[in-house]
Amino acid sequence: MDIPRIVIAGTHSGVGKTLLSAAIMKGLVEHNINVQPFKVGPDYIDPGYHAEATGNISRNLDFWLVGESGIRELFVKSAAKADISVIEGVMGLFDGIGSSGEGSTAHIACLLDAPVILVADVRSMSRSAAAIILGYREFEPKVNLVGVILNRVGSKRHYSILKDAIESTTGVKVLGALEYDSQLELTERHLGLMPTKEKTDFPVLLEYLAKKISHNIDIKGIIQMAAMAPKIKPVKVEIFKSDKSGLSECKINLGLVLDDAFNFYYQDSLDYLAFLGARIIPCSALKGGLPANLDGLYIGGGFPEIFAAEISSNREFIMDIRERHKEGMPIYAECGGMMFLSQSITDFEGREYPMAGIIPAKTLMMKKRAGLGYVSAVTRKDNLLALTEQTLQGHEFHYSILEGINEDDYAFVLKKKEDNSSYDGYVKDNILASYLHLHFCGCREQGKRFITACKNYQINKRNNKSKDFTG
- The SS3 assignment for 410 reads coil
Question: Phi first, then psi: what are they for 392, rounded to 5°?
Answer: -115, 145
How is 57-118 classified by DSSP, letter by letter?
Answer: --EEE-HHHHHHHHHHHHHHHHHTTSSEEEEE--SSTT-BBBTTTBTSHHHHHHHTT--EEE
Residues in the chain: 471
Active-site annotation holds for 110: no
Query: Residues 250, 283, 335, 454: which is the catalytic one?
Result: 335
Using the Cα atoms of residue 435, residue 50, residue 180 and residue 122 in order, give the sign of their dihedral: positive
Cβ atoms 401, 370 nearer than 8 A: yes
Question: Phi first, then psi: what are they for 248, rounded to 5°?
Answer: -65, -15
Q: Is 176 left (phi over 0), alpha (psi -120 to 50) or beta?
A: left
**How many Å apart are CA 62 and CA 66, to the nearest integer?**
6
**How many Å apart are CA 78 and CA 5, to the nearest integer?**
12
CB atoms within 10 A of CB 412: 29
- Please identify every residue annotated as catalytic: 335
